[in-house]
């Protein structure tokens, strides 16, 4: 296999994922009566959060720590079902907190804020081609077994999409919970996906109620977290800065460590859920669980100014199945003709991706192409491809994409921002790639 063909196959395998299965076909319908086996009979595992908050989930659930303050849980069918975020109230302080100790007023405000968040989610999903609407809201309620201020609310979503001629439809039975614990705010979002004809007043499976009842907050020092992410999907965690005191250091164990500026945050919460649904239901790209996304600060809380901008640092990693490291070690890799051929193949792959997205209802246009070159990142040779693209006619986005061989894996680093916002991002973003340190074995 010649070097150009090898590189082409490698990039194709890394950038174009297989089609997802219909997400609702395997989901277990919600039962209007409590006919499912009690989750009390299941083996449980305990999850500890910062601030001495803990809860138990069935052993059948798997989970992944996306960063130090955000965890996703997958039910026994492998469907993302529970999303837990820990905020410091100086970063995110909902309006209902200011109304305490007036519980009634706080409950009313809690519902207003949850409706606003979900309406924003509905608009975001619709923008990306997924028709979703809330067909039922229930009354907000406190968690009576907790002494700390807390509220939950139940609601039902009905989702529809037509992607490449394939109709998908289902109902999501959801619970949003917020718990105040001193300077920390826990948000717990649960959803159970069922068939589109399930009664709107059906009960969510009992195991979710059991999880809520298991929530405990113990006064005193916070215990160490006992979260062990999958061995084949290392977690992304925020650590103490090691290069710039004002920047946040992101660590992916056994892969790399890098920094993002104070203007960025790791994607989490409802916004990440929107993006997950976009990838799996609209673009039909399977989430490998090995993507770490940083975005403009404030987007997780749907800040208006943040929503008007666009900036991303996306880090993804996959096994080096096609010997990419060997390809880059080949002396011919720096030959001008070889680089030209690789650049041609790279442009073809990215153009195909744009066509796939356009066919799924999200038009992408490659507006300029600056080419591919071999560069060194922290002493490691890699390929850097630079181009501009526009999605749905929006202002053009400048993209720098790096493919880096690390420990028999390929690290894909994509750094992008809108060209008309270059004065905000360009200086910091040109330095991000220089903060990478790799855990070479």
The more confident residue out of 149 and 409 is: 149
Q: What is the pLDDT of residue 2?
A: 37
Confidence of residue 128 (pLDDT cuts 50, 70, 90): low
What predicted TM-score, i.e. pTM, was given to this entire model? Answer: 0.61
Q: Which residue has the higher pLDDT, 114 or 318?
A: 114
Cα–Cα distance, 372 to 348 (Å, whole number): 12
Count Cβ atoms below 10 Å from residue 317 Cβ, excluding itself: 23
- Gap between the Cα atoms of 81 and 61, Å rounded: 9
| Contact of 38 with 45, CB cutoff 8 Å | no
- 189 vs 27, which has greater pLDDT? 189
Largest CA distance in the chain: 72
The pLDDT assigned to 137 comes to: 95
Nearest alpha carbon to residue 369 among 344, 391, 352, 392: 344
Helix axes 269-277, 103-127, angle to 10 degrees: 30
Radius of gyration from C-alpha coordinates of the chain: 23
pLDDT bucket at 279, cuts 50 / 70 / 90: low
Which of 162-166, 174-178, 395-399 is the least confident region?
Answer: 162-166
Query: For residue 422, what pLDDT is reported?
Result: 95
* pLDDT of the residue at 332: 67
229 pLDDT tier (thresholds 50, 70, 90): very low
Q: What percent of the chain has pLDDT over 70?
A: 75
**CB–CB of 375/395 below 8 Å?**
no
Mean pLDDT, residues 17-28: 30
DSSP 223: P
Q: What is the predicted pLDDT for the residue at 255?
A: 84
CA–CA dist 250, 118 (Å, integer): 29
What is the pLDDT averaged over residues 109-119? 91
Strand partners, 391: 364
Report the first-to-last Cα separation within the chain, whole angstroms. Answer: 28
pLDDT confidence of residue 429: 93
Specify the pLDDT at position 353: 84
**Residue 165: predicted pLDDT:** 59
CB 368 within 8 A of CB 358: no
Tell me: pLDDT of 241 over 70: no
Are residues 429 and 417 in contact, defined by beta-carbon separation less than 8 angstroms? yes
CA distances for 283 relative to 349, 379, 386, angstroms: 16, 35, 23
Is pLDDT above 90 for 187? yes
Phi-psi region of 51 (alpha: psi -120 to 50; beta: other; left: phi over 0): left
Q: How confident is the model at residue 278 (pLDDT cuts 50, 70, 90)?
A: low
Contact indicator for 274, 124 with CB cutoff of 8 Å: yes
What digits encode the pLDDT tens for the residues 44-82? 899 999 888 999 999 989 887 766 688 888 888 888 889
Q: What is the average pLDDT across 102-114? A: 92
Over residues 213-232, the mean pLDDT reads 54
Q: Tokens 């991303």 — which residue?
A: 312
């Amino acid at each position: 296999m010649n070097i150009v063909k090898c590189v082409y196959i490698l990039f194709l395998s890394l950038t174009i994922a297989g089609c997802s299965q219909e997400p609702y076909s395997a989901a277990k319908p919600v039962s209007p009566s409590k006919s499912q086996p009690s989750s009390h009979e299941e083996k449980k595992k305990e999850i500890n959060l910062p601030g001495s908050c803990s809860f138990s989930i069935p052993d059948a659930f798997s989970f992944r720590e996306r960063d130090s303050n955000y965890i996703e849980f997958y039910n026994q069918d492998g469907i993302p079902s529970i999303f837990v975020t820990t905020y410091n109230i100086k970063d995110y302080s909902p309006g209902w907190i200011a109304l305490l100790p007036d519980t009634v007023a706080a409950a009313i405000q809690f519902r207003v804020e949850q409706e606003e968040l979900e309406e924003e989610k509905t608009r975001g999903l619709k923008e990306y081609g997924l028709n979703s609407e809330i067909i039922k809201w229930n009354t907000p309620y406190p968690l009576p077994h907790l002494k700390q201020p807390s509220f939950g609310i139940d609601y039902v979503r009905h989702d529809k999409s037509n992607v490449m001629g394939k109709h998908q439809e289902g109902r999501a039975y959801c619970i949003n919970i917020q718990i105040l614990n001193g300077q920390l705010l826990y948000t717990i979002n649960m959803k159970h996906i069922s068939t589109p004809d399930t009664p709107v007043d059906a009960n969510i499976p009992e195991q979710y109620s059991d999880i809520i009842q298991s929530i405990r907050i113990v006064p005193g020092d916070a215990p160490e977290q006992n979260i062990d992410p999958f061995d084949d999907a290392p977690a992304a965690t925020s650590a103490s800065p090691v290069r710039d005191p004002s920047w946040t250091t992101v660590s992916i164990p056994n892969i790399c460590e890098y920094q993002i500026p104070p203007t960025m945050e790791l994607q989490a919460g409802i916004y990440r859920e929107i993006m997950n649904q976009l990838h799996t239901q609209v673009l039909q790209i399977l989430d490998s669980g090995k993507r770490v996304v940083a975005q403009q600060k404030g987007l997780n809380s749907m800040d208006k100014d943040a929503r008007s901008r666009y900036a991303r640092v996306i880090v993804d990693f996959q096994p080096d199945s096609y010997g990419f490291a060997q390809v880059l070690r080949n002396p011919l890799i720096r030959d001008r003709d070889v680089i030209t051929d690789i650049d041609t193949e790279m442009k073809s792959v990215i153009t195909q991706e744009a066509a796939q997205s356009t066919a799924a209802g999200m038009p992408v246009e490659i507006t300029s192409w600056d080419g591919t070159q071999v560069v060194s990142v922290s002493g490691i040779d890699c390929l850097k491809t630079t181009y501009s693209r526009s999605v749905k006619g929006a202002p053009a986005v400048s993209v720098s994409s790096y493919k880096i061989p690390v420990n028999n894996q390929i690290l894909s680093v994509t750094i992008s921002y809108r060209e008309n916002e270059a004065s905000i991002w360009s200086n910091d973003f040109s330095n991000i790639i220089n903060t990478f340190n790799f855990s070479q074995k």
